[in-house]
Amino acid sequence: MRLDIIACPLATCTRHGSSFYIMWHLQMKILFLSAYYCLPPATGSRIRTMEILKSLSAKHDVTYVAFADDERQLSSIEEARQMCSDVKVVFREHRYSKMKLLKGLMVRTPFTILNYHDPEMARIAQDMQQNADYDLIHAEGVFMAQYVDFSSARPYVLSTHNIESTIMNRFAETTPNPAKRLYARLTHEKLNRYESEIMQRFDRTLVVTEEEKLLATKMSPQAQVVVVPNGVDTEFFKPSPDIPEEANTLVFTGLMDSRSNVDGVLFFVREILPLIRREVADVKLRILGQRPAAEVMALAEEPGIEVTGFVPDVRPPAQSAAVHVVPLRVGGGSRLKILQALALEGAVVSTSVGAEGLNLKPNEHFILADDPAQFAKQTISLLRNPSRRAELGKIGRELVVKKYDWRTITAVLPPLYEHLVECKKDSAS
């Protein structure tokens, strides 16, 4: 830990031309253990991780240790080193291991935590915590809590992207497969216990929404919970006048092997899209996102459905759609896909689950619809009303620029971490 003395001009002085005040800046060494290697920032988890990392590394000395699950990510390590003092990446398969699935039935630790257990990551994390003098340990994702050594007198921060037990419970409620439903219910119970126990071991737990703060506090009353909402880079995601709108085109965006997105797009194609086609025969659906699951790839064989897979820049194919659809039934946290759509001045139709955790007003910033028939009706109405689409998009962008820009959201983190280090130092003296 180092104190930098910075002289900053405060006011004009008649004798010397300017006056100065002394600002003590606490520069910390932070170990940032992450379940999500953030580059390229092609998914919501990577984007949130990158923005938190950028905020902390702008003022502090950050060592970044992360899991990567896409070999294309490994080419960007030098770019990550421009942000951080050191970067170490451990590659892991994102597919579920059958052995770990079986073990998840037999042991107390939930499968989703076991799935992130890796001997190489354990070795690196343990070595760094024992042999380097870090002022604070940050675990990005509850999956990384298993690598934290709580034996030292320094603060620990857990940053969550979701309350994972909530997602598992919603999956159990929506899956038609009895075996998966039973497994999800068992895993939900284990996750609920695990999250409740682990949150109280950290000095702070960061959550995405006020709803999750209430839930986390109820699950773990001793936990100190802080809301750091999701955001959007409003300079990067802004509408381009050079991208024309494609008539009667809908877009669904997201990581297309995630449980919530796969369920949502299948629900849309099976129960909502046929209703839209009765009124708008030439409607097209673009499924925009990397790693499409097999059942999602199969949708590309149907007329009028495009499955893009990975694209280097999501903005043009997202902005060109007439309506953004978010028909989610499973999930947690809040959806970056909605914030990005609004930043692009897109008109959005979403379920309650899709829009939860965001301070959005139905019929002002987006259109709310949970029932398939109502979702179809509202989507058809927007497709036929370009002025209404433009109105929603304009008001939506104004909101995200004002309340959801990442620079504003993450600005609270460096002073919070400095405060935690100072408090820990005072308690030890």
Q: How far apart are CA 60 and CA 30, in angstroms?
A: 7
Of 13-17, 211-215, 379-383, least confident by mean pLDDT is 13-17
Q: State the pairing for strand pair 204-207/29-34.
A: unpaired
What is the structure's pLDDT at 26? Answer: 66
| pLDDT of the residue at 363 | 97
Q: 15 pLDDT exceeds 60? A: no
pLDDT above 70 for 327: yes
Please state whether beta strands 284-288 and 249-253 pair in parallel, antiparallel, or not at all (unpaired).
Answer: parallel
- Confidence class for position 48, pLDDT limits 50, 70, 90: very high
Specify the length of the chain in residues: 429
Say yes or no to pLDDT of 5 above 70: no
What is the overall mean pLDDT for the chain? 90
Please report the beta strands in 222-295, taking only residues with DSSP state E, as ranges in sequence order.
225-227, 249-253, 284-288
At residue 428, the pLDDT reads 74
Full-model pTM = 0.84
Please report the domains of the chain, with CATH numbers, ordered by start residue. 30-228+412-428 (3.40.50.2000), 249-406 (3.40.50.2000)
Q: What is the C-alpha radius of gyration for the chain, rounded to an integer number of angstroms? A: 23
Q: Is residue 352 within 8 Å of 366, Cβ to Cβ? A: no
- pLDDT at residue 19 in the model: 35
Task: Convert the pLDDT of each residue in 192-202 to its tens digit.
Answer: 999 999 999 99
Dmax of the chain from CA atoms? 82
Query: Residue 21's pLDDT is what?
Result: 30
Say if residue 101's pLDDT is above 90. Answer: no
**What percentage of the chain carries pLDDT values higher than 90?**
76
Per-residue pLDDT for 144 more than 90?
A: yes
Q: What is the pLDDT of residues 55-69, one digit of tens each?
A: 999 999 999 999 998
Per-residue DSSP letters for 188-229? HHHHHHHHHHHHTTSSEEEESSHHHHHHHHHH-TT--EEE--
305 forms beta bridges with 285
Tell me the per-residue pLDDT of 155-209, one tens digit each, with 9 for 90 and over: 999 999 999 999 899 889 988 899 989 988 999 999 999 999 999 999 999 999 9
How many alpha carbons lie under 13 Å from residue 184 in its C-beta half-sphere? 19
Report how far apart the first and last C-alpha atoms of the chain are (Å, whole number). 16
| Per-residue model confidence (pLDDT) at position 1 | 52
Place 16 in a pLDDT band, splitting at 50, 70 and 90: very low
Residues 78-96 pLDDT 10s: 999 999 999 999 999 876 6
